[in-house]
């Protein structure tokens, strides 16, 4: 069982991550909510499981799926949830299965949206005061997982993800003016996958890591360039001074893993495309 990783959520991020775990020599089990994805998962040497969390977890062969050494939790925190508490219930429903499977290591894909806009640089060890219902739910989930001593939890606070089939311009909300003076916190999927692979490879478990690029261009600069690249109308920006913002530090991940980003600057990525 020590050579088995289960990826709960083989979607846009989880699927390439499962492939990376395969490359590292692990036997990989992957869950999906779509029966249509089963054949391709099998083709990619990922043992497929059809699993739903609505919010309670249901599916076939759950005991086998949770019989692993490492569990990667990659359930998306959907923005259209009317009640963010639903997400907490989804994660909470996993606990009995984690304990039943005697899983040693849990890795949770969280979000940098847990951080308030403190108008400065934010590090993993900074005191956390949630400023929204969503950030409070994320904070409660982290405490739920890390507070359970029957397994060790690694928390990954992911910045906004971009990459193949998810362009930076997709972050622009239709008919909504943006505060163009705010810096962005983004990370390319390839860097995200590589970093998580390094965490597992180097056994950097039990930590909290920010996963975010080196550079933080202003919204006005990066979203304007994204619109030009996509040949769509330029976004509108509010004419206001920058007041509330956050810059997520990635120094811990670079120092601990000795990691160098392949895509350190999201704006430079757009300009090269």
Q: Residue 248 has what pLDDT? A: 98
252, containing H or E segment: helix 251-257
pLDDT band at 175 (very low <50, low <70, confident <90, very high): very low
| Domains identified in the chain, total number | 1
Give the domain range for residue 80.
Answer: 4-165+186-216+246-264
pLDDT of 162 higher than 50:
yes
pLDDT at 225: 92
| Structural contact between residues 29 and 7, judged by C-beta atoms closer than 8 angstroms | yes
At 40-92, the pLDDT tens digits run 999 999 999 999 999 999 998 999 999 999 999 999 998 888 899 999 999 99
Q: Per mean pLDDT, which range of 36-40, 82-86, 136-140, 149-153 is the poorest? A: 82-86
pLDDT in tens, 2-45: 699 999 999 999 999 999 999 999 999 999 999 999 999 999 99
Rounded to an integer, what distance in angstroms lies between the CA atom of residue 211 and that of residue 110?
10
Counting residues of the chain whose pLDDT is more than 90, the rounded percentage is 82
Considering the domain boundaries, does residue 50 fall inside one?
Answer: yes
Answer yes or no: is 178 within a domain.
no
Give the distance, in angstroms, between the CA of residue 238 and the centroid of all CA atoms in the same chain.
29
Whether residue 59 lies inside any domain: the answer is: yes
Supply the CATH number for residue 259's domain: 3.40.50.720
Classify residue 71: in a domain, yes or no.
yes
Would residue 78 count as lying in a domain? yes
User: CA distances (Å), 67 to each of 74, 79, 247, in order?
Assistant: 17, 31, 38
Please indicate, yes or no, if residue 101 is contained in any of the structural domains.
yes
Burial of 107 (0-12, 13-18, 19+ CB in 10 A): buried
CB of 193 closer than 8 Å to CB of 93: no
Q: How confident is the model at residue 173 (pLDDT cuts 50, 70, 90)?
A: low
Give the range among 49-53, 97-101, 225-229 with minimum mean pLDDT: 225-229
Angle subtended by helix axes 85-92 and 133-146, to nearest 10: 20
Residues 6 or more apart whose Cβ sits within 8 Å of residue 112: 122, 157, 158, 159, 160, 185, 210, 212, 246, 248
Burial of 6 (C-beta count, 10 Å sphere; 0-12/13-18/19+): buried
pLDDT in tens, 198-214: 999 999 999 999 999 99
Q: Does residue 177 form part of some domain?
A: no
Domain-embedded: residue 232: no
Banded pLDDT at 244 (limits 50, 70, 90): confident
Q: How confident is the model at residue 241 (pLDDT cuts 50, 70, 90)?
A: low
> Is 269 in a helix, a strand, or coil?
helix
């Amino acid at each position: 069982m020590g050579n088995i990783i289960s990826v709960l959520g083989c979607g846009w991020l989880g699927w390439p991550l499962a492939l990376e775990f395969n490359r590292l020599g692990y036997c990989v089990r992957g869950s999906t909510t779509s029966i249509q994805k089963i054949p391709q998962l099998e083709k990619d040497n990922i043992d497929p499981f059809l699993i739903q969390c609505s919010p309670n977890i249901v599916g076939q062969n759950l005991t086998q799926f949770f019989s692993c050494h490492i569990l990667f939790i990659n359930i998306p925190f959907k923005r259209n949830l009317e009640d963010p508490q639903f997400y907490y219930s989804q994660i909470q429903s996993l606990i009995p299965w984690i304990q039943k499977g005697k899983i040693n290591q849990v890795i949770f894909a969280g979000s940098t949206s847990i951080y308030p806009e403190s108008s400065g640089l934010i590090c993993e060890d900074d005191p956390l005061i949630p400023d929204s219902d969503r950030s409070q739910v994320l904070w409660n989930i982290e405490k739920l997982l890390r507070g359970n001593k029957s397994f060790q939890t690694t928390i990954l606070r992911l910045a906004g993800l971009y990459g193949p089939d998810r362009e930076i311009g997709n972050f622009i909300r239709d008919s909504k003016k943006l505060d163009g003076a705010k810096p962005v916190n983004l990370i390319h999927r390839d860097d995200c996958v590589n970093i998580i692979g390094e965490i597992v490879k180097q056994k950097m478990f039990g930590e909290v890591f920010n996963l975010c690029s080196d550079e933080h261009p202003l919204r006005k600069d990066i979203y304007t360039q994204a619109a030009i690249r996509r040949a769509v109308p330029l976004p509108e920006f509010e004419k206001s001074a920058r007041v509330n913002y956050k810059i997520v530090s990635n120094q811990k991940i670079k120092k601990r893993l000795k990691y160098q980003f392949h895509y350190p600057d999201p704006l430079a990525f757009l300009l090269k495309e």
